Amino acid sequence: MGTAVAAVIFDFNGTLSDDEPLLAELFTELAAEQLGLEISHESYLETLAGLSDPEIAARLAGMAGRDDASGSLASRLLVSKISAYRRRVEVEPRITPEASSFVRAVAARVPVALVTGAVHEEVDTALQAAGIGDLFAAVVAGDDTRHGKPDPEGLLLARAQLGLPAAGGVVVFEDSAAGLEAVRAAGMRGVKVGTDQLERAEGLYERIIPRLGMEEGAWLLQLLPGADQG
């Protein structure tokens, strides 16, 4: 990453928040209960992970073969998922202290933003619970956009809110192939978090790390303004 880093954008589910398995659990359980659709955990991670929550709900309704022209089934599924998610993370927060420390270190040097397909009701609660909500100069959630990832709409909106004239200096941490496709479409620089969907994400990122943390992200901190260049 030779170009200077002007800003850093974080994905939420599966990246900043270690909750992708929880999302799979909630969506598959609710799909069975409300739509009569049986979908495996593995199938969810392979075909739906990384999409916006509204899109996941709509796709599940379609996979169930239900007539949902009005969107009421998907909406009901999404409301149930949001409620269940908030109850679970209030008991067991999914943003680790290591991830929070890394965000703090980055935000002390360059503007940071968050772009996610999850809705504000979930994201804002989780950020405040972790004590890092005030660090983000922009938070673009699924209810702020018309098109979810792999469309770059959310990333471009965040770039505009950060006041950046170009995308080349923006580093984006993403866990899903859909998210990394959006990063490429936005002209930004992707960092793959975790080892899921590696085959689908091939060629879409410049670096891979196992998780967010100070040790795993030390290379980035050395590229930011104010770093000790030795």
Q: What is the CATH number of the domain that holds 198?
A: 3.40.50.1000
CB 172 within 8 A of CB 16: no
Mean pLDDT over residues 167-174, rounded? Answer: 95
Strands 189-193 and 7-10: unpaired
Same domain, 149 and 45: no
Strand ranges for 124-217 from DSSP E? 138-140, 170-174, 189-193, 207-209
Strands 189-193 and 207-209: parallel
Per-residue model confidence (pLDDT) at position 228: 58
Number of domains in the chain: 2
Closest CA to 52 of 136, 124, 143, 126: 143
Domain that holds residue 64: 20-91
Q: How confident is the model at residue 91 (pLDDT cuts 50, 70, 90)?
A: confident
Instruction: Give SS3 for 8.
Output: strand
Q: Is residue 213 part of a domain?
A: yes
DSSP 13: B
Same domain, 32 and 47: yes
More confident residue, 147 or 69: 147
More confident residue, 76 or 45: 76
Same domain, 116 and 156: yes
Mean pLDDT over residues 28-56, rounded? Answer: 90
CB 12 within 8 A of CB 123: yes
Residue-averaged pLDDT of the chain: 92
> CA of 142: how far to CAs of 16, 78, 201, in Å?
16, 12, 22
| Tokens 């950060």 belong to residue | 162
Same domain, 102 and 39: no
Mean pLDDT over residues 176-198, rounded? Answer: 95
Q: Is pLDDT of 229 > 60?
A: no
pTM confidence score: 0.89
